[in-house]
Each structure stands twice: as structure tokens, then as C-alpha cells.
Amino acid sequence: MVTLQTPSARPSVSIADLAAMRTRAHAVVSENRAAAAAPSAQKVPPEFNSSQVAELCGIDRNKLEHRRRKGGLPDGREEARRRMFTLKEAQAWVLEYRYAKTKRGCVPKTGLVPKAAVITVGNFKGGVGKSTTAATLAQGFSLRGHKVLVVDTDPQGSLTSLMGVAPETLEDEDTILTVASGDATSLAEAIRPTYWSNIHLIGAAPRISGAQFHLPARAQKDGFHFWSALSIGLDADIRDLYDVVIIDTPPALDYLTINAFFAADILLVPLPPSAMDFVSSTQFWDLFVDLNEEFAEYGMVKEYSFVNVLLSRVDANDSAAALVREWISESYGKHVLPVEIPSTAAAKTAAAEFGTVYDATVAQQSARTYRRAYEAYERLVEIVEDQLQRVWLSHVLPQGDGL
């Protein structure tokens, strides 16, 4: 039955309603951010038990205990008959073992690591796992002894939040906006330390959307190569300080994303094995190829050391995934990394607290899915670390010496 509506029954949402809703949402975010970081109101890194430190060092627990007794490395502290190490202490152990073992660039500033390799995580689709992948890679690399700079170019600031910084606290000069507007040529001033030692951050906030205006305006005014602002901003001094720069991008082909691609040595495209995401990825490659052809027209022939497709958020119970996986491997072949990131409750729980599986507390680590998630990310870190070694090596080889 259709009833006639009186004018007063007309559906209506006022701007005041929307404003009230917005205010409530902000309050919920800041309450929960604070709750996740309680009691210090600041995000704290996890602690590590001796098995975990031993695993990171690639030795067994007895060897670690034996070495600890010899002295010269952090002792950690005993707690409920377990020995616990802080993140910094764990990193000191890792440096000792990884350096002694490989002597080929596992540690910052060996002869073989002249400048940082740049990894850009991109896909025009949102929700595919870009920011989570960027954060986990950063944490995983830092646990292998590398110094990492993460750069957030997404105005939504998800990676910034994962790194323990509230986007709303950032000023223009804490972001990449200054190099987009031309107020600065270097990003050195925008870098800040984070709660996680050896990961530094250039954060993002909604205000960096201004770059979408500044970059084309500068290109029009004086022919500025709008795609190179970020690459130039990561100047030689910055590249000397870090082993890896990891750039997260927004789900759009905008001026900032183009800058992030142009700066990359390694491209990483997270892709869930669903039909929709696969179709969307074909459009991504269309635009990506066009973009690189345009660079070439300006005489900038862009080469990537590695282009990787990462199967992400893989749902073990999804029967259609197997078919889409076939499409993906048929289309992207050798570019598909030999690891899949499962969709897990552990990753979801971690995200609800503005963290990743690397932030999990010892109690959370007993969750059934934790180990599966952690091991997948560790394998990813290992594979990409291998690519990093090759990029670093290519930086010290004379031009033309292929690997």
C-alpha cells in the first residue's frame, strides 16, 4: 500500500546531522587510538622472548643462551622465568649475527649499501592490503637489521596510523606537501622517528591532497617535471641514511601516486585473488604502462629492478580463488611472488588496534591464525630482502653490468 507522505515526513539529512556524525567519528577514533596505545597513550613496540630473538638471528635457543653468558650483547630481563628482550635489544642481537654471517649488506652502511633502495606499494584499488604490506615490510626489514624510512602518500594516512602517529597531528612540513608545493626540495625536515626503532616516517594527512593542485600548477608555470618531486625530495643524504625507503600510495592514479611510482626501484602490487580485483588489476596495468610511456616521451626512460604481484588477503575457504589464481599466474607469470598472504583473524585483530601481526603481544601470539599470518609475512620479507640485495649491488656496479 502506498501512503502519501506529508512534507514533514520528507526524508532529510541536514548538514548539522552530518557535522554531528563527523564529530562522533573523530571522538571514536581518538578514544580507540588511545585505548590501543594504553597505558602510555603512545604506541609501544612488542617485546621478544629468547626463542623469537634466536629465530631472528637464525640460531637455536641454546646457542643464544650460551652467547648471552659470554657477555657483550644485551641480556634482556627475566620475567616469570622467561627472558624478554626489548625491540632495540633484539635488533642489537640481529645485527651481530646477520653481519657476522653474511658480510654482504645485511647491515646498514657496509660497503655494499651505498644508498637506499625504494619500494613502492601500489594498486588503484582500495582495501587490497597496500598499507598493511608497507607496514609489515618495514617492521620485517628492521628486524633483519635494516634502517627503514616509510613514506605515506595517501591522504587517508593509514600507514601513518600504523606507525603510531595520528594524521591529524601533522603539519604541512611533516609531510611530502612541501616538496610538492616547491617550498622545499628535500624531505629531510619531514622525517620523524616512530615508536619502532629503525623505522622513520614521513607521514600523511588529508592536507597533502593540496599536492593535486600544486604539482600541475608548477608544471604549467615553469615546466616542472611534476612526477619527480618525491624522487628529488628523497635526496642523496636521505638515501645515505637508510637501507630501504617504502612508499605507500592512495587508491588512485593521482599526482602523488605517479611520484611514488617514478621514485621506485621495486614495485609491489598486492592483489587479492577475486575476479573483481583481477579485472581491476588489468586496468591498473593499462594505466601503469601508459604512464611509463609518457615518462619515456619526456626522455625519462623509467626502469624498475623488480615488479611484483603479491597475492594478498587470500581466503582459504574461497573456492573461486583457485581459478582466479590461475588467471593471475597466466597473466603475470614470473612477476607473481612465490608467497601468498592469507586473510587471517590475526591480521584483522591487529588492525583493530592500529597495528600489524608484528605488533602482536605474546598473548595475542597464541591465537590459532597468528603463526600462519606471521610466517607468510616473514617469507615475503625474506623474498623482497633478496631483491633489495640485488638492487644495492646494482647501485655499486658500474652502469651496464647486468645482474
Ligand X SMILES: Nc1ncnc2c1ncn2[C@@H]1O[C@H](COP(=O)(O)OP(=O)(O)O)[C@@H](O)[C@H]1O
Q: Which residues bind ligand X (CB under 6 A)?
A: 126-132, 158, 251, 313, 341, 343-344, 347-348, 351
Closest approach, Cβ 131 to Mg ion, in A, equals 3
Q: Which does 199 bind (CB under 5 to 8 A by kind): ligand X, Mg ion, none?
A: none
Do 219 and 226 touch, CB atoms closer than 8 A?
yes
Closest approach, Cβ 284 to ligand X, in A, equals 12
CB within 8 A of 36, min separation 6: which ones?
Answer: 43, 353, 354, 355
**CB nearer ligand X, residue 48 or residue 370:** 370
Closest approach, Cβ 245 to ligand X, in A, equals 18
The CA-based dihedral angle spanning residues 266, 373, 91, 66, taken in that order and rounded to the nearest 10 degrees: -130
**CB nearer ligand X, residue 85 or residue 332:** 332
Closest approach, Cβ 190 to Mg ion, in A, equals 19
Q: Which does 182 bind (CB under 5 to 8 A by kind): ligand X, Mg ion, none?
A: none
Mode of pairing for the β-strands spanning 192-193 and 82-85: unpaired
**CB nearer Mg ion, residue 168 or residue 189:** 168
In angstroms, the CA 251 to CA 297 distance is 25
**CB nearer ligand X, residue 74 or residue 251:** 251
HEC string of 250-262 equals CCCCCHHHHHHHH
Closest approach, Cβ 159 to ligand X, in A, equals 8
Q: Which does 68 bind (CB under 5 to 8 A by kind): ligand X, Mg ion, none?
A: none
Closest approach, Cβ 375 to ligand X, in A, equals 12
Q: Which residues pair with 79 in a beta bridge?
A: 82
In angstroms, the CA 380 to CA 136 distance is 9
In angstroms, the CA 56 to CA 317 distance is 31
- Interacting residues with Mg ion (CB under 5 A): 130-131, 158
Q: Which does 129 bind (CB under 5 to 8 A by kind): Mg ion, ligand X, none?
A: ligand X
Q: Which does 351 bind (CB under 5 to 8 A by kind): ligand X, Mg ion, none?
A: ligand X
**CB nearer ligand X, residue 262 or residue 354:** 354
In angstroms, the CA 50 to CA 47 distance is 10
Closest approach, Cβ 350 to Mg ion, in A, equals 15
In angstroms, the CA 192 to CA 229 distance is 20
**CB nearer ligand X, residue 210 or residue 251:** 251
Q: Which does 341 bind (CB under 5 to 8 A by kind): Mg ion, ligand X, none?
A: ligand X
Q: Which does 140 bind (CB under 5 to 8 A by kind): ligand X, Mg ion, none?
A: none
**CB nearer Mg ion, residue 53 or residue 149:** 149
Give the side-chain half-sphere CA count within 13 A for 73. 22
Do 381 and 351 touch, CB atoms closer than 8 A?
no
Nearest to 164 by CA among 122, 128, 188, 192: 192
Q: At 52, phi and psi to the nearest 5?
A: -65, -40
Do 102 and 109 touch, CB atoms closer than 8 A?
no
